[in-house]
Chains A and B, each alone.
Chain A
């Protein structure tokens, strides 16, 4: 089945040419391909240029590329592993709007294993996973949701009697690409937060020999996930990544840079409390603890629930959920400029006391020295 191209499968399913082209447009959009540089300059394989019109060669051939990919490639097999997670990223994906999960499963991917979505359970589904890993060795996309406990040989998260560390290493060995979704899989997330009782770490701390695409967020934006898959399908490669291995097309700018409340930040107009008049007028939420300036994600552009809104638009400051250690990054509702760590009153009092004691000690020592010097000079005068 999966060896048929996506186009063939759609044809079999009775999908019209019009619907197919519409879907191609959707995919191009999902991968952020509104226009591309000419292939000769982009560093992409020259073979992609075959069959493109002269017009497209100048730089507008993304749509053709999508059509070509869907016509020639089979669906992407996906194995989705869940470890120390809340299934929030999967939940978010089921609410993906463009393309929807149904679109995705029907036409773009085959989900070979997913604890929550698979109909089978127990040893049957584990067997199915083993079979899929064998069949699609070197071809499947491994998606990991949740962090991995490392303490006590990883016993804090086991599936079918095997530790998550073990399961990840096994699945990663045959994967064509690895996508870590959500803050837990990318940076450790809440299990990694202080005091981190299970020694939770991210996927990239375990898998060192393969590139891991991080799509952080709590949850990750579903369109980001579908976008990465679309990119993988169209180009057969992973998109360009930033220093934290996040795809630049989705994590290239900060929330602050694209925020609809930004003009009010520049003008120094801030909401003072939640839902006050300022907040309703659209004033900046910086004073309420917004972490937008240091948070890289595309919430402000892609938005959520089919482009309906995103937290800041709805009056809530950004929590910085796509950044490392956001649970330990200071209070959610404390201004971002506030220090992360400050002395307690007792410690500050200790510093005052230490300064005072040192000062008094030094002053007394100096006075003593002065007196004895005075004394000895007096005696010297007497002798004279």
Chain B
């Protein structure tokens, strides 16, 4: 089996199967959470649930990240907040605003969009990789984090790290031939797709879910989180 064949496998049947496992797995996870049920809430509504949801997202995504010093999490461990924030921002930029990835989305869902110039995406990818290394060191050094980190946590980091690094190397044609790096990148992505529903990386979906639930709760009680 040569690299051309490995690439065809990683971009073809393996990707297909990985995507199906990802879809089925995420739906499974969501259904399981939904079926946990809600505890009865007999509090009379003091405010709008929808308004609460909107405010919750607004604060979580657009306000807190830009005034981090207002949050306890920042003052307790600024590195987690900064590196974590940059990591998520970088991931978003790379996955949605990089031209190659936009073309993947376009081929999957049929619509494309404007993307950022490569140098910007490239720098964001570099920042993301550095942030991940920072987060790993922090996890190894911080006594509390160290205590609560098991193999799954390190595996999470590794499985997200591999597509990032292979993608970066591929863009820059580093050390190996392009199709070798392309193959490694695709294999890493396929593994990631399968791993997401099995791991806490599924928070990419549950984050929005729990933000909405909590926001609605806050909105109903008219409390400002």
**Would A343 and B19 count as touching, CB distance under 8 A?**
yes
**Would B20 and A351 count as touching, CB distance under 8 A?**
yes
- The B-contacting residues of A in range 307-365, CB under 8 angstroms, are 323-325, 329-330, 334-343, 347-348, 351-352, 354-356, 358-360, 362-364
**Would B27 and A352 count as touching, CB distance under 8 A?**
yes
Rounded to whole Å, the gap between the CB of A153 and the closest CB of chain B is 28
Kindly list chain B residues whose C-beta atoms are within 8 Å of the C-beta of A244: 2, 4
Rounded to whole Å, the gap between the CB of A326 and the closest CB of chain B is 10
Rounded to whole Å, the gap between the CB of B190 and the closest CB of chain A is 10
- The A-contacting residues of B in range 178-209, CB under 8 angstroms, are 178-179, 182
Kindly list chain A residues whose C-beta atoms are within 8 Å of the C-beta of B15: 339-342
**Would A339 and B23 count as touching, CB distance under 8 A?**
no
**Would B119 and A355 count as touching, CB distance under 8 A?**
no
Alpha-carbon distance between A336 and B92 when the two chains are bound, in angstroms: 21
Interface residue B8 (Cβ < 8 Å from any Cβ of A) = yes
**Would B108 and A342 count as touching, CB distance under 8 A?**
yes
Interface residue A164 (Cβ < 8 Å from any Cβ of B) = no
Centre residue among A243, A267, A343 by max chain B CB count within 10 A: A343
Kindly list chain A residues whose C-beta atoms are within 8 Å of the C-beta of B104: 335, 337-339
Q: Which of A140-148, A207-215, A286-294 contacts B (4 or more CB under 8 A)?
A: A286-294
**Would B26 and A334 count as touching, CB distance under 8 A?**
no
- The A-contacting residues of B in range 65-102, CB under 8 angstroms, are 99-101
Q: Name 19 interchain pairs, CB-CB below 8 A, sorted by A.
A: A269-B117, A335-B107, A337-B103, A338-B104, A339-B12, A340-B12, A340-B15, A342-B107, A342-B108, A343-B23, A351-B27, A355-B25, A355-B27, A358-B28, A359-B27, A359-B29, A360-B31, A360-B35, A362-B32
Interface, chain A (partner B; CB < 8 A): 243-244, 254, 256-257, 265-270, 286-287, 293-294, 323-325, 329-330, 334-343, 347-348, 351-352, 354-356, 358-360, 362-364, 367
Interface, chain B (partner A; CB < 8 A): 2-5, 7-8, 11-13, 15-16, 19-21, 23-32, 35-36, 99-101, 103-104, 106-108, 115-121, 173, 178-179, 182
